Structure 1
C-alpha cells in the first residue's frame, strides 16, 4: 500500500518541520523537471492487483498474515484489511509481449498462492467489493497488523474528529458509520502504471481522466456492499467516504476531499504535486534525514521521501508517481479507476484497453481535453460508477450516447491504434480488445453478471444468495474465461 513507517506520536512541531521539508522537496522537484535526466527512452508499464480472502462458504477470511507466510512470495504483500492481500506484477514492455506476460505471470502466481492458502481454509477472490462483508467485518479489529495502517487510521480519525459516515443511495440505500478506516479495505482495485516523460506526463494524465467513465462502464465489478445493491461500481462512493477527513462543516466550506477526481486539466506533473502540498494537510508527517537539495547539487538523485509519502495519502483516481530505479528518476501515471477481476484475462483486457486508448489520445494532434470540459469527464465518471455498462457518456463531436456505442464505434479503434503504436502484436491486440468488444456486445461486465445471478436467486435469503453467487463467481473466475461468456 505504500512506504513503510514506524508507529510514533506526532506533535505540532513535527507538522511544522514537515511542512517546511515538503516544500523544499517541491522546490527541488520543480528544478529536477527542468534539469534532471528522467528515464524516458523505453517506457515500462505495470500492474498491481488487490485481492480478497474468503473461507469455504464465501465469508471473509481474516487470515492475510498466515496466508502471506504460506505463500512466501515477495510479490504478495499486506493490504489494509486482514481479509486483503496485494500482488505486484513485474513491469513489462508492451512491445515485448507485455500483455501476455502479465496474464501468464499473474495466473501462475495466483494459482500457486491459491494452492498454498487453501490449506489454511482461505481462497483468493478478485472482485471490487466482497459482497459477503457484514458490519462486524468492518470493525477496528480487522485492520491489518502494520504500523503504517495504525498510524494512518489514527490520523484520519483525528482529522475528522468523529466516526466515518457511509451514505450511498443506489438501487437500495446504505447508511452506516465506522470507528476506523477499515471500510476502505472493502475497496479492492486494479492499478495500471504507464511511464512517461516529464514533457508528456500532462497529456497522459489528461487522457486518463477523459476515459475514466468509459473504463468504469465496461469494467464495473462492485454492485453489493453490506448486503445492499448500490452502484454498479460501489467502490467509488465507498472509497470517497471511507477516507474523507472532512467534517460536515469543512465539506460545506468547499474543502477538497482526499479521494479526488480533480477539478481541471493540467499542463505539468508539477501541477498535481503542488496541489497536494497546497490543499492537503499531511496525514503522515514523517521526516526523512535526506536533504534533497544537497543530494541534487552533489550530482545525486533525491528520493523526495516526504513528497512521495504525502502523495500516497492523496487518493486521486489517476495518481502521479515519482520514483527512482537504478539511480534514475522516472514518472508514472497510476490509473486506479477499476475494481479487481473478474478473471485474469478480463484484467489484462482492461489493461490493453487502457494502455492503448491512453496512448492514442495522449499523442493526438488535437487532444480530446481541448474539446471536452473537465466537468464532462467528471460527470461521465460518476454516471458510469452508478449504472455501469448501461451508462450514457458524452464525447466531443458525438454528444451523449450509450457507453457501449461509444466504446465500440470510437474508443476501441483508438485503443487498437494505440496498442499498434506500443508495438503490441496483432494477435495480442485483437485477443484482449476482443474481450472488451464482447462485453459491449452482450452488455455484460462483472457487476451485471453478479446482479443477474442474484436476481435468479430472489427466493433465497439475501445473505445466503450472496454466498452462493460468490462461490459460483469464484468457480468461474478459475476458468479464466471472460465474464461475458459465463453462463
Structure 2
C-alpha cells in the first residue's frame, strides 16, 4: 500500500527540503554500509522473504465490486488485508516466512486459510476475491477519478501525477490476435485519473539479502524478469479488448507516466522503469532515484538520519522510503527497519496475481530458486547478457507469453517454454535445494511450472482460448468475457493449477 501521508498539498519549500533530506538519507545509507550497521542475514533468525498479493473484487455478475472499504470492514483482519488504490482492489500481506524444509507448504496452507476466512466474512456484500492480473470485465468507465479509494496517499498521488504531467493520461496499446484470428485489437483512451494503475493487480515477492549480496541478486532478478512474465502471464483483457498476454506491464507504465510527449522526446526517464544498467551496489539505485526523479509526495519528517547514527540509533530514512515508493522499478530496492534492525530487500514486481494459490506458490518457488542459482553460479550471467537484452525479454515475454522467443546467453534466441524446460527448471531445483527447501516442496511447485510449459497453458492462454471459442460459437465480446470469468472463478476456487484447466 505504501507509506501513509498526512498532507494533501505541498509547497515549493517542501519540495526543496524533501530533495535535501533524500540526499541526506542516501549519504546516511552509504555510511551504514561502510560501518556495517545492517543485520546479518546469515545469522539472524528473522524471516527473510515475504509476499504481497493484490486481488480484484467482483460481484456475482462478474462486474467489478466497488466496495473495498466495506469488504475490509467485514473481513476485519487489518494485519493481513489492506486497501489498494482502486475501490475494486484489496491487498493481502502474507506473513514473511522461511524457505527451508516444508515451510513453503505451510505458507501455502496459511494463505488458503486466510482466503477462506475472508470469503466467509464478506459473502453478504455481493463481492468475492479474484486472483487475476487484470479483471477482464473492467471497462473504461470503471477507471474514473471517482473510483479512487478514500485515502490521503492515493488522492495526493493522483493529484501530483497529473500536476506533473499537465494533461490527461493516454492509454495506447496494440494487442495480440486471439487464437484463430489475425485481428490486432487496439486500446486508445484518454483518462483523467491514475485508476488504470489499479487495474494492474500483481504478486510482489520480497527477499531479504545482505548488503554485499544485493547487487548480484538485483542483477539476477533483472535477467529473470522476462522469463517470469512469459510463463506466468495472466492479464490479456481490458476494456473489452484483447491486448498483450501480460498487459499489466505496458498499462502500468502508461497509467503512472508523469511525462507529456515533449519530455518523453527529451529522454526523461519514466517512473515505471526497468533501469538502464547492471549495478555494483544498492546505493546505485537510490542515487539514481535522487538524481533523476522529482518528488511526488514530498512529506518531510523531523528526523536527522546522520544525527541518529551518531546517537547509535538505526534511522528509518523516511524520505528515502517515501521517494522510493513512488518510483516503480520492476525489481525495486527496499530499505526497511524491523525490530530496530535495518535490512535490505529485493522486491520483485513483475508477476501478475493468480490464477490459483498453487500457481502463485509455484511462481514464487521458480523465482526464488532460479534467482539463488544464478547468484551462486561460478560466472555471473549478466556478464554475458546486455542490459538491453534483459529489458527486451521483459517486453517480449509480456506481449507473447509462452509464445515469446527470448534471448539467453549460450542459447541465443529460444522459446520461453524451451528455455525454462531445458535450462531454468534444473537451476530452480538447484537453487531451492540450496535454500534447504524439501524435495517434496520442490517437486510440488516446480512440477507445476513444468506442466505449464509442456501444456503451453498460462492463465492468459486459457483466457484467450476461452473467449475465442465462445465468440466462435456466436457470443459477443462482453458475454464471452463474463462467462469466461465465471469459469475462471470456479476453477480458481477449485484450486487445480491453470495448466490442468479444461
Q: CA deviation at 1:379?
A: 0.8
User: Once the two structures are superposed, what CA deviation does each residue of 1:14-57 show, in whole Å capped at 9, x if it has no partner?
Assistant: 11111111111110011111113322125611110000000001
2:499 counterpart (466, 479, 484): 484
Q: 2-side partners of 1:376 and 1:352: how far apart? A: 24
Task: Look up the SS of the partner of 1:475 in the other structure.
Answer: helix
Instruction: Give the Cα separation in 2 of the matches to 1:355 and 1:391.
Output: 22
Q: Please give the alpha-carbon distance, in whole angstroms, between the structure 1 residues aligned to 2:449 and 2:192.
A: 40
The answer as to whether partners of 2:68 and 2:88 remain within 8 angstroms in 1 is: yes
Shift of 1:479: 1.1
Instruction: Determine the C-alpha separation between the residues in 2 that align with 1:175 and 1:115.
Output: 39
Gaps of 5+ in 2: 177-184
Number of the residue aligned with 2:427: 414
Work out whether 1:248 is the aligned partner of 2:261: yes
Please give the alpha-carbon distance, in whole angstroms, between the structure 2 residues aligned to 1:36 and 1:180: 43
- Counterparts in 2 of 1:199 and 1:72: CA distance versus 1, 3 Å: same
Match of 1:398 among 411, 420, 423: 411
Q: Give the equivalent residue in structure 1 for 2:139.
A: 134
119-128 vs 88-97, greater mean Cα deviation: 88-97
1:93 equivalent in alignment to 2:106: no
Residue from 302, 310, 327 that aligns with 1:297 = 310
Q: Deviation per CA, 1:87-122: give whole Å up to 9, x if none.
A: 000001101433112211111111111121121100
Q: 452, 464, 482: which is aligned to 1:467? A: 482
Work out whether residues 203 and 363 of structure 1, in 8 Å CA contact, stay in contact via their aligned partners in 2.
no
Find the counterpart in structure 2 of residue 179 from structure 1.
192
Q: Could you tell me which of 44, 67, 74 is aligned with 2:71?
A: 67
Could you say what secondary structure the match of 2:100 adopts?
Answer: helix
Check conservation: 2:458, 2:499, Cα contact below 8 A: yes
Give me the whole-angstrom Cα distance separating, in 1, the residues matched to 2:330 and 2:275.
Answer: 9
Matched, 1:432 2:445: yes
TM-superposed CA distance for 1:8, in Å, is 2.5
Q: How does 1:71-150 map to 2 (within 5 A)?
A: 71-74=75-78, 75-150=80-155
Deviations 1:438-467 (A, max 9, x none): 000000000000011111111111111111
Match of 1:273 among 277, 281, 286: 286
Which consecutive segments of 4 or more residues in structure 1 shift more than 6 A? none
Per-residue CA deviations over 1:291-314 (Å, capped at 9, x if unaligned) read 111111110100000000100000
> Is the CA contact 2:289–2:327 (under 8 Å) kept in the aligned structure 1?
yes
For 1:25, the equivalent position in structure 2 comes to 25
What stretches of structure 1 of length at least 5 have no aligned partner? none
Cα distance between partner residues in 1 of 2:399 and 2:48 = 33
**Aligned residues of 2:245 and 2:400 also touching (Cα < 8 A):** yes
Distance 2:50 2:241 in 1: 34
2:6 is the alignment partner of 1:6: yes
**Contact map agreement 2:368 2:428 (CA 8 A) in 1:** yes
Q: Distance in 2 between matches of 1:273 and 1:226?
A: 36
- Cα distance in 2 between the residues matched to 1:245 and 1:32: 33
